[in-house]
């Protein structure tokens, strides 16, 4: 092997070669990995990427859920108001029908106790016995926690049902 650095009369320059050797010794060595090391690094990288992706997906789901819940609010309010009107109208119809039946069957009862007392008694009875409508929001179990997080901005009636569903869902997960 011929040295690149030559000194007098084609003799090798050992000082230059020594400097070159020192420089090479200071350079970092090329990494060498075993197959197990490379497999472990690949697995760790995959796991880290998977966890990061999962976290991003959760954040995205929460953002989408918030937007979805915000869009529900006006419709839920309308539904609840319409349900209150429907319930009140059903009670009013039941009172009028019952009052007419009592008037036709027992006119003396109305004369003796007054129409307002009978109507008030019927109203109390029907308010206890005519159920109001129930709005149920079905949510996939994977969406229970994100929906639960934003439930406070929904209707109080839905919140009560959602809390019940969350408790049932968590109980099922434990079992």
pLDDT digits (tens, 9 = 90+) for 17-70: 778 888 888 887 777 778 888 899 899 999 999 999 989 988 888 888 878 878
pLDDT digits (tens, 9 = 90+) for 127-171: 777 776 666 666 667 766 766 666 666 666 665 665 666 666 666
pLDDT digits (tens, 9 = 90+) for 78-133: 888 888 898 888 888 888 888 788 777 777 766 666 677 777 877 888 777 777 66
The pLDDT, as a whole number, for residue 46 is 93
Element (H, E) at 79: helix 35-105
The CA distances from residue 50 to 47, 85, 141, in Å, are 5, 51, 22
Quick check: 1 pLDDT over 50?
A: no
Task: List CB contacts of 149: < 8 A, sequence separation 6 or more.
Answer: 62, 65
The pLDDT, as a whole number, for residue 98 is 83
The pLDDT, as a whole number, for residue 117 is 73
Cα–Cα distance, 15 to 34 (Å, whole number) = 37
């Amino acid at each position: 092997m011929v040295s690149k650095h030559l000194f007098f009369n084609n003799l090798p320059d050992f000082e230059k070669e020594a400097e070159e050797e020192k420089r090479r010794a200071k350079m970092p060595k090329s990494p060498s990995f075993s197959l197990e090391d490379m497999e472990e690094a690949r697995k760790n990288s995959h796991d880290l990427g998977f966890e990061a992706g999962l976290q991003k997906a959760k954040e995205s789901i929460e953002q989408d859920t918030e937007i979805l819940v915000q869009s529900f609010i006006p419709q839920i309010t309308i539904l609840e108001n319409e349900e209150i009107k429907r319930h009140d109208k059903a009670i009013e119809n039941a009172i009028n029908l019952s009052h007419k039946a009592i008037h036709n069957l027992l006119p003396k009862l109305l004369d003796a106790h007054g129409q307002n007392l009978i109507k008030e008694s019927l109203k109390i009875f029907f308010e206890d016995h005519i159920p109001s409508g129930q709005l149920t929001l079905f949510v996939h179990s994977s969406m229970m926690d994100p929906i639960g997080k934003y439930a406070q901005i929904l209707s109080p009636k839905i919140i009560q049902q959602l809390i019940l569903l969350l408790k049932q869902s968590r109980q099922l997960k434990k079992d």
